[in-house]
Chain A
Amino acid sequence: MITRARNNTGNDTGPRVASLAKPPAALGNNEAELELIRRVSRRDRAALRDLYLLYHRRLSRFLMRLTQRQDLAEEIINDTLLAVWNSAERFRGDSRVSTWIVGIAYRRALKSMRRRSFEIIGLEDTEMLVGVDNVQACETQEWIEGALVALPIEQRLCLELAYVLGHSCEEISLITNTSVNTVKTRLFHARRKLSKLLPRLAGNP
């Protein structure tokens, strides 16, 4: 069952203020999660269930946005947690637990998306979608989503990791196994493209 509850992105500033004030709660308590990982490494299924429930919500939000398919999102979540079960004893705590687990999910999602050739709308199509004549007819939500879908997958994933899961630049570099500069470059290009595709969001006519 999917629950969809989108906020109104009109002039309501409530969520924005909250997001500026503190890091997102989605990052969780690393110490508590580390303890769960230790228990999982001792083949404790109750600990795995706790971890599963914790990450199911976080990852499903991230993966549903990417795949738009519940079955696929569920499959990637289960693959990710199975990998956690099988390799928990090798996790040394060099990074946050969330960075490690999201990194596994990221690689599986990327592989799955490339394999299944998701219906990523080409730039030309999106330009048509958000063209001057069509802008008036588009809902803002669809307009933003269309622009995000038009981004190359690596650029979009950086933005999703930052905005949906609330990761920092350094954490994204660990998750995606790339340098910090690569993350910055991907975000730079994504933002440049979004500023062209979404000029009205900045208050332009």
Chain B
Amino acid sequence: MQRLHSNHEQCWELIPWVVNGRASEVEQRAVLAHVEDCSECRDELQRHREIHSHMRGSDDVIAAPNASWQKLQEQIDLQPTPAAMKAYRIKRPWLVAALWLQLIAIATLAGALFRSAAPPSPEYETLSSTQTLDRRAAVRVVFAPNASLDKINQLLRSVECDIVAGPSEAGVYTLAAAENKDVQGIIASLREHSEVLFAERSQALAGSSQ
């Protein structure tokens, strides 16, 4: 193998373009001069002349394309006309929007149907429930600042109530009365004591968040 020419790599790269006639005249002359001294490039040029000759020589052309031309014309005729395409493009956004609206409506109806068909949630509470609902009636109370703890306990025992929340920032306690108790009676009883500044029925149940 001889690589006498300094531009061997460049000449080697140019060989396909010399073979297919796309190299410039200067490039062709350079490559042809180079192959005189470089056996590697000479072999490569010879090989690709053979390959090129083979590929160009295989004249597998399809004669008489009339049938294919007729088929192409039919394909063109089957296509929508440009005017129809334009109309289609204008209508299309509405069609897409309508389809989306329909989809949303169907999803909403299906959701409503699913909710109505679903069994009602059970009314029982399990032992593992993290928060059981305290269904007792609730009373909101504010005690006097000077009311002693003993007095307050005594008061709560007398009305059979428990403190379930509080005091809030305003000093309001939430009391839970025993079920079936007369809440109004409890409130009236509490109001009779000077240690109670305020007593009102709470709108929420004792166990619910307020």
- A contacts, CB < 8 Å to B: 1-7, 9, 15-16, 19-24, 45, 49, 52-53, 56-57, 60-61, 64-65, 70, 73-74, 77-78, 81-82, 85-86, 140-141, 144-145, 148, 159-160, 162-164, 166-169, 184, 187-188, 191, 194-195, 198, 201-204
Return the chain A residue nearest B18 by Cβ.
Answer: A20
Complex alpha-carbon distance, A188 and B63, angstroms: 35
Return the chain B residue nearest A60 by Cβ.
Answer: B62
Interface residue from A148, A167, A187, A201 paired with B46 (Cβ < 8 Å) = A201
Complex alpha-carbon distance, A141 and B51, angstroms: 9
- Residues of A contacting B43 with CB < 8 Å? 195, 202-204
Contact (A144, B54) CB under 8 Å given A24-B20, A56-B68: yes
A51 smallest CB distance to B (angstroms): 11
Complex alpha-carbon distance, A204 and B1, angstroms: 13
Q: Quick one: CB contact mask for B1-42 with A, threshold 8 Å, 1 for yes? A: 000000000000101111111100000100000000000001
Q: Does B75 belong to the interface (CB within 8 Å)? A: yes
B63 touches A2 (CB 8 A): yes
A64 touches B47 (CB 8 A): no
Minimum-distance CB pairs A-B, first 5: A202-B43, A7-B57, A64-B60, A168-B22, A201-B47
How big is chain B's contact interface, by range?
A: 35 or more
A9 touches B50 (CB 8 A): yes
Complex alpha-carbon distance, A24 and B44, angstroms: 21
A69 smallest CB distance to B (angstroms): 11
- Residues of A contacting B15 with CB < 8 Å? 191
A133 smallest CB distance to B (angstroms): 22
B72 touches A82 (CB 8 A): yes
A63 smallest CB distance to B (angstroms): 9
How many pairs, one residue from A and one from B, have CB atoms within 8 Å of each other in the complex? 157
- Residues of B contacting A45 with CB < 8 Å? 73, 76
A103 smallest CB distance to B (angstroms): 17
Interface residue from B20, B22, B60, B71 paired with A78 (Cβ < 8 Å) = B71
A87 smallest CB distance to B (angstroms): 12
- Residues of B contacting A2 with CB < 8 Å? 60-63
Complex alpha-carbon distance, A95 and B46, angstroms: 32
A19 touches B72 (CB 8 A): no
B56 touches A163 (CB 8 A): yes
Q: Does B64 belong to the interface (CB within 8 Å)? A: yes
CB-defined A-B contacts under 8 Å, sample of 24: A3-B61, A3-B63, A5-B57, A7-B56, A9-B53, A15-B53, A20-B19, A53-B69, A56-B62, A64-B60, A64-B62, A141-B54, A159-B16, A159-B55, A163-B51, A167-B20, A168-B22, A169-B22, A188-B13, A194-B47, A195-B44, A198-B50, A201-B46, A202-B42
Return the chain B residue nearest A190 by Cβ.
Answer: B16
B21 touches A166 (CB 8 A): yes
- Residues of B contacting A19 with CB < 8 Å? 19-21, 49, 52, 56
